[in-house]
Structure 1
């Protein structure tokens, strides 16, 4: 057996036995080489293999650390389930009292509408005309005057992002994205073999000077952005910054992909990028967060040059949005149900952020006053994966920065989703998070 293989196997045995605890910093490449009597290039190969096995994480400037094997890779977008008895601060699925009865009433109304036979058939790939018109009217209330001919109905915002990327980009294309960005977009880009180029951020949004330099240096084909309630950092870009971003995209002939999944939580936001620069912006949103996660209905508003490509991608992936859920969603768009639910969820999110302020007083965190998530940066020498593992043992599921990070090194931070438990449970859970964080990260 090759020498480096024996060293790898020894590390594997010690990590899996628990002899090397999660969060343990391994020797530097030079120290490992000296200790084992091997070349530095061989030491590098040892750590590369351990990384490929998912046993360690390598962080530029900080070293190589043992992963916690009790946590799924990324413990975010890659996580399939949360233990039934755990409090879920990983995913947001906000629901309000009475939503079940709202659905029951909608199903009764639909059953007597006389349109059931039509719902049993394939629908137009981008949605029926009357449904696209209902979406367009809804978007006008959000500040986007969208022509129904440019509206496409998709199976949730994630499907909207997927079909947009399939329609507009090719493997190897460079897409600019914030250094911390939505984990689902990051996973999509990887699946479609796109290169994500990180853009440095400020406390108020992306660093547009850094984005300008990136577009000069690299052939950036698209810019992915969340101007209204960024996930996970919670900013809302001012209108002037939106105009500057649109002008930058024009100068470099880059497509803007505007993700507005959480935009409904912001009252009276600035106009969407799609209203400022409609000819090069694809606007993507949906009803999963504002209404219900099980209602997989979303919408894309695309420039005329992109519509046919997105329609083709819908046909290739789902053929059309399920007719029954689309019919219910569009009824609710028309009768005011969606507007009512969005207003109530804004109030609910504000109440949850008030709990965050009370329980995290004195701790650094980043969030928006009406968002359903909060970002908690940790001290530089802390280990987010170790803290997540400690919380998991207390039946609290959280996400580290790893699934959101486009750039390296990955920051030590937690992202906490706030909407998937009742207020009393959220209060006591955040109190535990505070106590564990102070004990583990600030000792």
Structure 2
């Protein structure tokens, strides 16, 4: 075999031939390609050049390499994000991709809230610029809301933001620098991955066990790398649904104190978990930034969130809010605080806990026989797929049935990306949800047989 360097023109011809065969369907999705060594022998290439061919095809999104399994043709009809980042839900699509849990009567609730706001004497003030972190009485209102849920904070430690995603971006912009190393679960919230990419953070994965993130793995990681922060969802983890127990939380705090880590605690879904252990913020207020909002417990269109941080970090975060949105959303914040004070938020949270449990019951029945990872009060679940089933093929087959799901790719920080799909249960009315879940089970079964 000739192992001399291959002229660039020939190397590109091999890449182009593969790309053409994939685009035409001559190499259909799921096709296992020759090993690097086999390709080198067949084409008379150096092994390093064969590896470059596959690397370029992978960079083009045409193939995926899976450790221990080989290189496979990807389903190019599916967006590279495989779901939650880019895939818009078309009209008529049964959406198991995004969660926007709503209850009957919430539109009327909004009408009533707007009428009440219009009658208030403070309406004109809402048309002017607000303080960067929110008006003092509204910060105090949200602090009381947290105190009722077992987390005591001072209003001065709380900043109102334009939704929890903006809160996470504010934390990153204010407290981290490009190149900083942030430890995250090997499967983590896709929205934080997007922020990390935009701000050029290096995400390093914490290994997962059957019950949650492996803190011994985090400890080893801290000895090898200069980790600056840990991003975590200890209560209703997205996508896995875990609620970490008290000893796990205390162990994470101990590691953070030993290694000087900042903890970024995402509590977007925490309201769904009854009786959860104390938040990390309660265990280590001096090093924890707590982020949540009102998108899931009220409505996703209400872009109101909050960040709780140690006092010494608040000025930097105020500057980040000023740089991104100048001030908090005054009208929306006033609506939310009104609903906190009249008990509407507490009532909606209680109703959504019941609703989520009902949907999990429907899912367990519709998907009986499949492996599932979830929490009884979660609005999503994780479906690891059988060994012979590829997630991209399942997702595309479901798209052809007008059902949108997400694969593991948007959530994965380490490789290989597991073949699994995440199902969001909170967006469809129950009858349509059951219909969609039965189709999911059928499609997975078709590929498994």
TM normalised by structure 2 equals: 0.97
Are the aligned partners of 2:160 and 2:305 in contact in 1 as well (CA < 8 Å)?
yes
Instruction: State the shift of 1:78 in Å.
Output: 2.2
Instruction: State the shift of 1:305 in Å.
Output: 2.0
Are the aligned partners of 2:173 and 2:320 in contact in 1 as well (CA < 8 Å)?
yes
- CA displacement 1:403-424 (0-9 Å, x = unmatched): 1001100011000000110101
2:27 pairs with one of 2, 20, 36: 20
User: Residue 379 of structure 2 aligns with which residue?
Assistant: 372
**Aligned-partner Cα distance in 2 for 1:80–1:8:** 27
Q: Does 1:99 align with 2:103?
A: no
Mean CA deviation greater in 37-46 or 343-352: 37-46
User: Residue 187 of structure 1 aligns with which residue?
Assistant: 194
Number of residue equivalences? 442
1:138 pairs with one of 145, 153, 158: 145
Are the aligned partners of 1:204 and 1:236 in contact in 2 as well (CA < 8 Å)?
no
User: Residue 83 of structure 1 aligns with which residue?
Assistant: 90
User: What are the ranges of 5 or more consecutive residues in structure 2 without an aligned counterpart?
Assistant: 1-7
User: Residue 265 of structure 2 aligns with which residue?
Assistant: 258
User: Residue 348 of structure 1 aligns with which residue?
Assistant: 355
- CA displacement 1:185-213 (0-9 Å, x = unmatched): 11111111111111112222211111111
User: Residue 404 of structure 1 aligns with which residue?
Assistant: 411
1:212 pairs with one of 219, 223, 226: 219
User: Residue 71 of structure 1 aligns with which residue?
Assistant: 78
TM normalised by structure 1 equals: 0.98
Paired residue secondary structure (2:81): helix
**Aligned-partner Cα distance in 1 for 2:259–2:175:** 16
Instruction: State the shift of 1:80 in Å.
Output: 4.3
**Aligned-partner Cα distance in 2 for 1:284–1:401:** 24
Are the aligned partners of 1:61 and 1:409 in contact in 2 as well (CA < 8 Å)?
no
Report the RMSD for the aligned CA atoms in angstroms: 1.1
Instruction: State the shift of 1:12 in Å.
Output: 1.2
- CA displacement 1:273-330 (0-9 Å, x = unmatched): 0011000000000001110000000000001121111111111111112211111111
User: Residue 29 of structure 1 aligns with which residue?
Assistant: 36
1:161 pairs with one of 161, 168, 173: 168
Instruction: State the shift of 1:123 in Å.
Output: 0.3
User: Residue 361 of structure 1 aligns with which residue?
Assistant: 368
Q: Does 1:315 align with 2:315?
A: no
- CA displacement 1:328-348 (0-9 Å, x = unmatched): 111111111111111101000
Paired residue secondary structure (1:202): coil
- CA displacement 1:353-375 (0-9 Å, x = unmatched): 00111112221110000100000
Are the aligned partners of 2:83 and 2:404 in contact in 1 as well (CA < 8 Å)?
no
Are the aligned partners of 1:25 and 1:65 in contact in 2 as well (CA < 8 Å)?
yes
Paired residue secondary structure (1:205): coil
User: Residue 230 of structure 1 aligns with which residue?
Assistant: 237
Paired residue secondary structure (1:97): coil
User: Residue 279 of structure 1 aligns with which residue?
Assistant: 286
Q: Does 1:9 align with 2:27?
A: no
- CA displacement 1:114-152 (0-9 Å, x = unmatched): 212111111000000011001100111221101000000
Paired residue secondary structure (2:373): coil
Instruction: State the shift of 1:27 in Å.
Output: 1.4
User: What are the ranges of 5 or more consecutive residues in structure 1 without an aligned counterpart?
Assistant: none
Instruction: State the shift of 1:30 in Å.
Output: 1.0
**Aligned-partner Cα distance in 2 for 1:228–1:345:** 16
Instruction: State the shift of 1:439 in Å.
Output: 1.6
Paired residue secondary structure (1:345): helix
- CA displacement 1:384-406 (0-9 Å, x = unmatched): 00111111111111100001001
Mean CA deviation greater in 66-75 or 76-85: 76-85
Mean CA deviation greater in 104-113 or 42-51: 42-51
* Alignment of structure 1 residues 237-252 onto 2, 5 Å: 237-252=244-259
Are the aligned partners of 1:157 and 1:299 in contact in 2 as well (CA < 8 Å)?
yes
